[in-house]
Structure 1
Amino acid sequence: MGEAETPSFEMTWSSTTSSGYCSQEDSDSELEQYFTARTSLVRRPRRDQDEPAEWKTPELSQAEIEQKIKEYNSQINSNLFMSLNKDGSYTGFIKVQLKLVRPVSVPSNKKPPSLQDARRGTGRGTAVKRRTSFYLPKDAIKHLHVLSRTRAREVIEALLRKFLVVDDPRKFALFERAERHGQVYSRKLSDDEQPLKLRLLAGPSEKALSFVLKENDTGEVNWDAFSMPELHNFLRILQREEEEHLRQILQKYSHCRQKIQEALHSCPLG
């Protein structure tokens, strides 16, 4: 696995969906379509119920960790086992589902990463002057081999690095998803939480726990993390949504006024 400060990551694909991409030097209309497609600045009602932000993972003794790993390995139907290391840490696999609705940015002098590029773990360039935007495969699944001390922020950074994504990691967040009593619960992981520890505590069941990578939309928007073209596109979106909202309000009251006038005309005099 290497040194403690350098987590090891391995990733495999289970999706063959293609991605669309464009250059940021395209026309404004094309740029807007790709940067802001399916994106709205107005919050939509969430289908999943959010768990409270406060969350504390129970601490396990070394004996409890060893027992949990044995129980976990006995329940899985694949070779994605967890292994206990001599230093007391452990390694294993977590599965992350991508649910990104916006395109991501890669250096324009590089082609969009293929599956082979992702597996080789080609690094991102340090200086990026021009970018190309494209959609990552929707609902793609990645298996990552991580340490028990690997943090959620490191998982996000590793995923972006695999695909040459140059967007600010703060734009993304790792969520845990669970199904209980017919309800779906979603919780955003803090940067320092350890996904493999959560996986061990929950067991291998995907209903008990699954990980999802999404845009970081749940809190205050960090506008500094966006590029100038994206910020201009957001302003255009706001303008369009404001005009559409105003049109709907005027239409609603006009319709109501018409119904009242029709009722007045139909009422008998006296």
Structure 2
Amino acid sequence: MQLNRKYTFHTKTTSLKDVEKEKETHSYLSKEEIKEKVHKYNLAVTDKLKMTLNSNGIYTGFIKVQMELCRPPQTSPNSGKLSPSSNGCMNTLHISSTNTVGEVIEALLKKFLVTESPAKFALYKRCHREDQVYACKLSDREHPLYLRLVAGPRTDTLSFVLREHEIGEWEAFSLPELQNFLRILDKEEDEQLQNLRGRYAAYRHKLEEALREVWKPD
């Protein structure tokens, strides 16, 4: 069955008015309001991934993040953690309401032993509204578990996606940060070239051995 659904992607987090309203709601939630929302959330949970509210008002719970990477990221040698088949899979993280988007990205990369800089990745929230799906990039200071709590446990209403930064988004970084990214890319390029040269050298050696065997005089 084919779904006629329109996808709209935004590099900003909706409108400024929506952002300020969301921040205001987050700032002025009392402990009683949080307690009520956590209670309603747990009643709606169907996969046993409930939230836990502590006496200090901080709550913990689970979020699911989908990997949508254009290319396999660089991982530690022999890690075996992130294969091409992992791209597109859903990963579950246990986090706190105090954890920021930046911390979630670092935790996710650490889970898969990714050695690339967390600054090269972004976390998006995917919102479903009527027949459209909006993917909005989150700022590093936002709190994913709060967004999960407010939206409820249904991932068809709100879900999280890890992606690389898109072209044009680099304007938000300072010159030293961009220069550091270039150094990282140069290093990765050198490593890839060395690996490629090594593979061709080994292949050339095997071909030369095979030729010597074919032309060996009787």
Normalising by structure 1, report the TM-score: 0.57
Alignment match, 1:72: 41
Given candidates 56, 61, 80, the residue that maps to 1:112 is: 80
Distance in 1 separating the partners of 2:50 and 2:126: 21
Higher helix share: 2
Inter-partner Cα distance in structure 2 for 1:144 and 1:184: 23
User: What SS does structure 2 have at the residue aligned with 1:63?
Assistant: helix
SS of 2:37's partner is: helix
Q: Distance in 1 between matches of 2:85 and 2:147?
A: 26
* SS of corresponding position for 1:158: helix
SS in 2 for 1:72: helix
CA contact (8 A) 1:103 1:136 kept: no
CA distance in 2, matches of 1:143, 1:231: 32
The answer to whether the aligner puts 1:52 opposite 2:14 as a matched pair is yes
Q: 1:230 to 1:47 in 2, by over 3 A?
A: farther
Is the CA contact (8 Å cut-off) linking 1:75 and 1:204 kept in structure 2? yes
Provide the secondary structure at the position in 2 that maps to 1:207: coil
1:148: Cα distance to partner?
0.5
In the alignment, structure 1 residue 81 sits paired with structure 2 residue 87: no
| Larger CA deviation: 190-199 vs 53-62 | 53-62
Whole-Å Cα distance in 1 between the matches of residues 79 and 49 of structure 2?
32
Equivalent of 2:68, from 93, 96, 99? 99
Query: Does 2:176 align with 1:220?
Result: no
Q: Which runs of 5+ in 1 are unaligned?
A: 1-45, 115-133, 233-270
Superposition deviation, residue 193 in structure 1: 0.5
**Unmatched 5+ residue regions in structure 2?**
1-5, 172-177, 191-218
- 1:184 alignment partner, SS class: strand
SS in structure 2 at match of 1:64: helix
Q: Provide the aligned C-alpha RMSD in A.
A: 2.4
Q: Which amino acid aligns with 2:80?
A: P
1:189 aligns with one of 125, 138, 156 = 138
Q: Distance in 2 between matches of 1:68 and 1:158?
A: 26
Counterpart contact for 1:100–1:136, Cα < 8 Å: no
1:1-270 matches, within 5 Å, as 47-50=7-10, 51-52=13-14, 54=16, 55-56=19-20, 57=22, 58-59=25-26, 60-108=29-77, 110-113=78-81, 135=84, 137-217=86-166, 219-220=169-170, 222=178, 224-225=180-181, 226-228=184-186, 230=188
Identical counterparts, % of pairs? 40
How far did 1:49 drift? Answer: 3.5
